[in-house]
Structure 1
Amino acid sequence: MELCRVAIAGFGAVGRSTAGLLLDRRARYRDVYGVEVRLVAVCASRAGLVDPAGLEPERFDDLEPGLSGPDVIEASGADVLIEAGPSDHRTGRPGLAYLERALSGGRDAIVISKGALARDGARLRALARRSAATIKVSGAAGAALPTVDLLDHNLLGSEVLGVEGVLNATTNYLLDAMMARGVGFEAALREAQAGGFAESDPRDDVEGWDTARKLVILAGFGLGAELSISDLEVRGIQSVTEEQIAGWRSDGLVPKLVGRLWRDEAGAFRGGVGVDAYPLTDPLARLPGKTKAIRVTTDGMGEIVAIGCGAEPLATASAALKDFEHILAARAGRLRPA
């Protein structure tokens, strides 16, 4: 039976959830793809574990100091890297260093963190092409919500005319609380932070930068459009006032923080992030709490809307392992690599 060795870089909540789910699904991988999957390395910021014979969950709390970095992953002999660590969105590191090494060496990569993809996605795709590696990004571009896969598989052959999406769960929760329950912004934010799904420093979400990065990733990996953060006009929800909320409520409209891609007169994609208000008849208006959605407008298939809400970190881990199954299926000759 073919052996597939997996390494995980980044071993916080998402990395650990991904590792546990991967090991739970080993029987499925054997039965469906004829592949023996072995987790051979995990790396946190300053510690890790490596075992060519395979790691089991009971060892996850015994990371060894110093076992971290791209050299550790390369020495493990891993065939597939799952990159799940935090990243500096200005530099893309540390994830960028792991991905550069893996893709240059012909290892397939599954990316969960957004920094490296938003900063250097075009170069990473070029590295993958040169080495015939596959790079998959579902966990970074919507997690449980299908975004890139929707474009790559379900809409293959159609011309995409535009994309809009509610891509950040935290801002959707905040706006929903403000509209539906009359909760002020600061009170809604405290609720979200107490619930564990808003960061202690929420600026990345509320100012629109998380949505912007997802939009850049979706454009590059789903549409082949080379956009950068600097190409987008980005406006968040931090300036939404009680007067605006009252006005939307009076007019029967629902505000959402939306990332949007559209074609200009020359046919090139442009993008932006901002608050739009939708009538109650629009599917994007009917997204409660932490729910996300994407709408794609095409030439032949019309409008396609996908809506999703999964519990974290399981939803993101599941999205990464969906990518892993696409890789296994491609290796088995059942599916074209995306």
Structure 2
Amino acid sequence: MKIQVVLSGYGTVGREFIKLLNEKYSYIYETYGIQLVVSGVLGRNIAIHNEDGLSLHHLLMYGGGTAAIEKYLEYHPKERATTSISGTVLVESTVTNLKDGNPGKQYMKQAMEKQMDIVAISKGALVTNWREINEAARGANVRIRYSGATAAALPTLDIGQFSLAGCSIEKIEGILNGTTNYILTKMYEEDMTFEEALKEAQDKGIAETNPILDISGSDSACKLLLLANSLMGTEKTLTDIHIKGIEHVTKQQIRNAKEQHKIIKLIASTYKDEGGNVNLNVEPCEIEKDHPLAKVNGTEKGITFFTDTMGQVTTIGGASNPRGAAAAALKDVINLYRKDL
């Protein structure tokens, strides 16, 4: 089966997605019977298209971003796209915009108009336009997958939707951001201040130069929102979440928790109260050493589901890097079209 993949956004994660496709093309075909062809890449005010497949080897030679697409066109001028691009599936990896979700929202809308399925890595469009996008997808009879937007390589959404099918998920607790967990781990293990741990994370490329989305708890909140809306039958927005970041966690607070045989983690949680209302919180919490998430250290992430019939289910790990996010998107594409299940 030939699947035409259109990629929107050719930044760090988008380029990793192309690298993975290039590396695993033969493996995917031999294992799943799927021929994944990248037929288009959409950059800022520029696009390339070849329904038979772009030269991924050449595209990767030129780096990332719009400049790479422009360089590619110097050697493949006939592949400049002059009209909107169609394909089988859109992989949406533009920068997350939490104001209105664009340009991802617009790309997704155009894809649905062309009956394309969607795999979202970027969180912005779904977080800001959850109801609108899902109603449009149902109306167009297309499928949307977004496990890469709910904690990258950590399998969160897959477990909730498939492994826990038939369960009532009563509560979810997770460490959903690797950057903040790295900072809190360093503060706990090496008695660093927040500022010292953040600086080390930035020096190692773990934290962004502007880390506000991570340290403020906003990134964790976005992931929690998508999980709650998907798994707990609600349609919440970011304004419904109590959010408190880690920027004000002090060395003394970490020491005090350690003296009480506890540890501070940035916990994203959602639960149903007695009235059936879904509550969402993101905040630093002191947890006991025997808590299933207490041993989630460094850049690792983890999640615990509390269910009515299967008890507690916890998974820990998953790469917290662009390759991990790209791998999650590739998994979504494969699972949309594989025929072996």
Asked if the contact 1:257/1:275 (under 8 Å) is kept, the reply is yes
Paired residue for 2:15? 16
SS of match in other structure, 1:64: helix
Confirm or deny: 8 A CA contact 1:102 1:108 kept in the other structure.
yes
1:197 corresponds to which of 194, 206, 210: 206
**From 166, 169, 172, the counterpart of 1:160:** 169
1:13-61 Cα shifts (integer Å, max 9, x gaps): 1101101212332223333343322111112223332112211223312
Instruction: Report whether the alignment pairs 1:257 with 2:266.
Output: yes
Unaligned runs of 5+ in 2: 63-67, 74-80
Q: Single out whichever of 174-183 and 38-47 deviates more from structure 2.
A: 38-47
How far apart, in 2, do the equivalents of 1:292 and 1:73 lie?
A: 42
**Which position in structure 1 is the counterpart of 2:30?**
31
Give the fraction of aligned pairs with identical amino acids, expressed as a percent. 33
In the aligned structure 1, how far is the partner of 2:13 from the partner of 2:314?
27
SS in 2 for 1:286: coil
- Structure 1 residues 212 and 86, CA gap change in structure 2 (3 angstroms): same
Structure 2 CA distance, aligned partners of 1:77 and 1:191? 44
Structure-2 residue corresponding to 1:307: 316
Bigger drift between 240-249 and 28-37 goes to: 28-37
| Contact map agreement 2:262 2:288 (CA 8 A) in 1 | yes
User: Is this contact kept in 2: 1:74–1:102, CA < 8 A?
Assistant: no
Partner of 1:232: 241
In the other structure, the counterpart of 2:77 is none
1:63 paired to 2:69: yes
Query: Tell me, what secondary structure is at the counterpart of 2:225?
Result: helix
* Pair 1:116-2:125 in alignment: yes
Q: Following the alignment from structure 1 to structure 2, what is the Cα–Cα distance between the partners of residues 210 and 10? A: 19
CA distance in 2, matches of 1:154, 1:128: 24
Deviations 1:119-167 (A, max 9, x none): 1122211111111111000110011111111111100000001001000
1:75 is paired with a residue whose SS is: coil
Worse overlay, 28-37 or 83-92: 28-37
1:176 to 2:185 alignment: yes
| In structure 1, C-alpha distance between the alignment counterparts of 2:42 and 2:206, rounded to whole Å | 24
In structure 1, distance between residues paired with 2:83 and 2:270: 37
1:210 CA displacement = 0.6
Alignment-mate amino acid for residue 118 of structure 2: A
Are 2:337 and 1:328 equivalent residues in the alignment?
Answer: yes
Any conservation in 2 of the 1:51–1:76 contact (CA below 8 Å)?
A: no
Q: 1:283 offset after TM fit, Å? A: 2.2
Partner Cα distance (1:289, 1:211) in 2: 16
Match of 1:219 in 2: 228
Distance (whole Å) between structure 2 residues aligned to residue 64 and residue 151 of structure 1: 41
Q: CA, structure 1 residues 43+175, in 2 after alignment: closer, same or farther (shift >3 Å)?
A: same
Q: Secondary structure at the match of 1:125?
A: helix
Q: State the SS of the aligned residue for 1:153.
A: helix
Q: 1:95 to 1:73 in 2, by over 3 A?
A: farther
CA distance in 2, matches of 1:9, 1:84: 6
For 1:286, the equivalent position in structure 2 comes to 295
For 1:73 and 1:285, locate their aligned partners in 2 and report how far apart those are by CA, in whole Å: 53
Q: Is the CA contact 1:174–1:188 (under 8 Å) kept in the aligned structure 2?
A: yes
Tell me the distance in 1 between the aligned counterparts of 2:38 and 2:187: 44
Offset of residue 106 of structure 1: 1.8
CA distance in 1, matches of 2:193, 2:299: 17
Match of 2:78 in 1: none
Inter-partner Cα distance in structure 1 for 2:57 and 2:34: 23
Q: In structure 2, how many angstroms separate the alpha carbons of the residues matched to 1:325 and 1:73?
A: 29
> Which deviations, in whole Å up to 9, do the C-alpha atoms of 1:243-282 show, x marking residues without a partner?
2112101111110001100002222321111111112122
Change in Cα spacing, 1:74 to 1:280, as seen in structure 2 (3 Å) is farther
1:208 pairs with 2:208? no
For residues 133 and 233 of structure 2, the distance between their equivalents in structure 1, rounded to whole angstroms, comes to: 13
- Partners of 2:214 and 2:164 lie apart in 1 by 29
AA partner of residue 239 (structure 2):
S
Task: Report how many residues are paired.
Answer: 328
Moved over 6 A (4+): none
- The match for 2:159 among 146, 150, 167 is 150
Partner of 1:44: 43
Matches within 5 A, 1:270-285: 270-285=279-294
Query: How far apart, CA to CA, are the structure 1 residues paired with 2:43 and 2:125?
Result: 17
For residue 181 of structure 1, report the CA deviation from its aligned partner. Answer: 0.4
Structure 1 residues 68-147: aligned runs within 5 Å: 75-147=84-156
Alpha-carbon distance in structure 2 between the residues aligned to 1:18 and 1:288 = 26
Q: Does the 8 Å CA contact 1:106/1:128 hold for their aligned counterparts? A: no
Q: 1:19 to 1:225 in 2, by over 3 A?
A: same
CA distance in 2 between counterparts of 1:87 and 1:279 reads 34
Q: CA deviation at 1:311?
A: 5.4
Q: 1:224 to 1:23 in 2, by over 3 A?
A: farther
